[in-house]
Amino acid sequence: MPNSRMPVITDMQVIPVAGQDSMLLSLSGAHSPWFTRNLVLLTDSAGHTGIGEVHGGATLCTMLENLKPLVIGTSLADYRNTLQRVAAFRHRRPGDTGEGIQSLDISQLKFVVRPDTAIEAALLDLYGQFVELPVCALLGEGKQHDAITILAYLFYIADKNRTDLPYLDESDADDRWFSLRRSEAMTPEAVVRQAEVVREKYGFHDFKLKGGVLAPEVEARTIELLKARFPDARVNIDPNGAWPLATAIEMGRRLRGVLTYAEDPCGTEAGYSGRETMAEFKMRTGIPTATNMIATDWRQFYHAAVEKSVDIVLADPHFWTMAGSVRMGQLLHDWGLTWGCHSNNHFDISLAIFCQTAAACPGEITPLDTHWIWQDGQDLCDHDYKIVDGKISIPKKPGLGLTPNMDKIRAAHEYYLTLANTERDDALGMRFYYPDWKYDSKRPCMVR
């Protein structure tokens, strides 16, 4: 029997949007001047709006468009059934090799992302507004944390002036971080400078360096300098599986007592899977490991758990759904392991999704990964998700606690419409350094 007092979903809009980025480097190459995302806006018969966000690009946008008939006209009270129907609609798509992102092949990322997370977030946002509870209270066993610790995600940055791409220049901004974040940073010292400035602005106590860019020794030196500058900080490195196992072990032994954990230090090689090499790395260095590459679904996680390859699963809700990520958080807690979160460039809606998911995960969780410091200032909503003393307090507001700013959303959509390529292409910027540059899962992007 439909519940006549409950609102009904009257409309679902899918809005592709774009924002601006720095020339950040990783194993997959250089970030373009833009990044893209897909927003879902749901309207209900009570007059509320719910919002969600996932990764960008035409593939995910089309999938979301196709899901509209399963959402529009449904009762908000029945949102779990709606989500079941939406999830059942998933199928293997052309181009999906089934490899996932075990080798950080960025062309496969869209197949790992769960577009239904955007719908889930928007439905939970609406439901939370209806029952006047924050989303974290609706997930798992309810709210577990009032505030979430966030890590500073540091990157080496290429020189945008070597390209003719329209990278943003903020060098004359009054804010010290904003004036620094678009400029070249290719040395250990430049990364330490980044860390100093973001710590001053946001109060971070935790740092993650994106590796897989320079020679492993240079990246290890960067970690050593960071730890020397901030002896009390927790520091980790993520070469995205680029290091051969022997190199990972050598770097791990060198960085014992310096690294808190290593994120995907090694991966598939010479007939061994990443789950096997990570297990060996752990055994031979004693350094805990984290992953967002070798356990991105339940079946992969089963094998990672059997091999004892990981201590920290970075269960990004955009890969697992919010409910799935919390389910992982509960299981990891019961098993004495640790929940964490992975990120790609995102807007403030995903920031809220991360924080509300984290707030429902029991026990000690690892500081949250987010690219937000590179996008700070590009909000699409009005909200209270602010990083203070390295933490975000969960807003005392119903739903996701966001008020969509339609002028800003329209402007981000207009920007999206100007882009020639809306899928992530990290080779574009690299070709200004190396004209024939091609992604290689075993060679740091600047080592050619």
- Residue 344, interface with ligand GKR (CB under 6 A)? yes
Is 103 a binder of Mg ion (CB under 5 A)? no
Cβ contact 289:239 at 8 Å: no
Give the C-alpha separation, 203 to 278, whole Å: 32
Torsion, Cα 257 259 263 267, to 10 degrees, reads: -60
Q: Which does 210 bind (CB under 5 to 8 A by kind): ligand GKR, Mg ion, none?
A: ligand GKR
Per CB under 6 A, the list member of 110, 182, 210, 346 interacting with ligand GKR is 210
DSSP H helical ranges for 137-286: 176-180, 188-202, 216-229, 245-254, 274-285
Q: Which does 26 bind (CB under 5 to 8 A by kind): ligand GKR, Mg ion, none?
A: ligand GKR
The token duo for 386 is 């602010």
How many whole angstroms from its chain centre is CA 70? Answer: 27
Residue nearest to ligand GKR (CB): 26
Q: Is 102 in the site for Mg ion (CB under 5 A)?
A: no
Residues involved in catalysis: 210, 342
- Our finding on whether 206 is near ligand GKR (CB under 6 A) is no
Cβ-contact 250, 285 below 8 angstroms: no
The verdict on 289 binding Mg ion (CB under 5 A) reads no
Strands ordered across the beta sheet of 49-55: 9-20, 34-44, 49-55
If you search the block for the tokens 């373009």, which residue do you land on? 32
Cβ nearer to Mg ion, comparing 123 with 151: 151
Q: Judge whether 205 and 214 are in contact, CB under 8 Å.
A: no
Q: Does 26 bind ligand GKR (CB under 6 A)?
A: yes
Cα 375 to Cα 387: distance, rounded to the nearest angstrom: 13
Smallest gap from Cβ 303 to ligand GKR, in A, equals: 19
Beta bridge partners of 313: 291, 339
Q: Does 292 bind Mg ion (CB under 5 A)?
A: yes
Question: Mind giving me the DSSP string for 185-217?
Answer: B-SHHHHHHHHHHHHHHH---EEEEE-SSS-HH
CA–chain centroid gap for 203, Å, is 20
Binding map of ligand GKR across residues 218-257, x = CB under 6 A, - = no contact: --------------------x-x-----------------
Question: Which one, 49 or 345, has the nearer CB to ligand GKR?
Answer: 345
49 binds, among Mg ion, ligand GKR, none (CB under 5 to 8 A by kind): none
Q: Residue 393: how many CB atoms within 10 A of its CB?
A: 17
The entry of Mg ion, ligand GKR, none near residue 21 (CB within 5 to 8 angstroms by kind) is none
Burial class (CB in 10 A: 0-12, 13-18, 19+), 85: middle
| 238 lines the binding site for Mg ion (CB under 5 A) | yes
Nearer to Mg ion, 145 or 208 (CB): 208
Q: Binds 344, which of ligand GKR, Mg ion, none (CB < 5 to 8 A, cut-off by type)? A: ligand GKR
206 touches 367 (CB < 8 A): yes
Smallest gap, in angstroms, from Cβ of residue 247 to ligand GKR? 18
342 binds ligand GKR (CB under 6 A): yes
38 binds, among Mg ion, ligand GKR, none (CB under 5 to 8 A by kind): none
Q: Applying CB under 6 A, does 292 fall inside the site for ligand GKR?
A: yes
Q: Which residues are CB-contacts of 392 (< 8 A; sequence separation ≥ 6)?
A: 147, 148, 150, 351, 355, 368, 385, 386
**Of the listed pieces 39-47, 82-90, 141-149, 337-345, which binds ligand GKR according to CB under 6 A?**
337-345
Interacting residues with Mg ion between 261 and 280 (CB under 5 A): 263
- The minimum distance between CB 325 and Mg ion, in angstroms, equals 15
* Residues near ligand GKR, by CB under 6 A: 24, 26, 210, 238, 240, 292, 342-344
* Residues near Mg ion, by CB under 5 A: 238, 263, 292
